[in-house]
Amino acid sequence: MLFAVLAAAGVSGAAPQGAVSKKLAGAGAATAPCGATAGGTVSYLTTNGVITQVTVTGLPNGCNGALVSLVLVNGAGTNLGGGGPVVVGGGVASVASLSANPAPASVTAVRLIAIGP
């Protein structure tokens, strides 16, 4: 076990609730990642000067089947747009529906979050 949350709440069913955490304890370790995602490479599809699709290739095989979300950020770390989750297949995650379509020049980094598989 890596960590545990103990909580008590006055709930009346199994639906998601606004549970109030009363105690948090654990070893502080994270769950195991699907692989070394730092080795991925980002590429764009642009349309009329703005980014309309973002693709990350070179993800580890262990990430196939994981759900990936991508966020485009500028130098200040501001979210300029993003999308997902999409399922990784063949080491590739491609997000074609972005919340906004920035120009490539305004983006300095692309952040990836992979959950699973």
Chain contacts with another protein (rule: CB under 8 A): 1-12, 14, 19, 30-35, 37-38, 40-49, 52, 55-57, 63, 66, 72, 104-105, 107-117
Report the SS3 class of residue 79.
Answer: strand
Angstrom distance (rounded) from CA 104 to CA 92: 20
Minimum CB separation of residue 62 from another protein in Å reads 9
Residue 37 near residue 93 (C-beta atoms within 8 A): no
Q: Which class for 21: exposed (0-12), middle (13-18), buried (19 or more C-beta within 10 A)?
A: exposed
CB 11 → another protein: shortest distance, Å?
6
The rounded Cα 68 to chain-centroid distance in angstroms is 5
- For the bound state, the minimum distance from the C-beta of residue 85 to another protein, rounded and expressed in Å, comes to 11
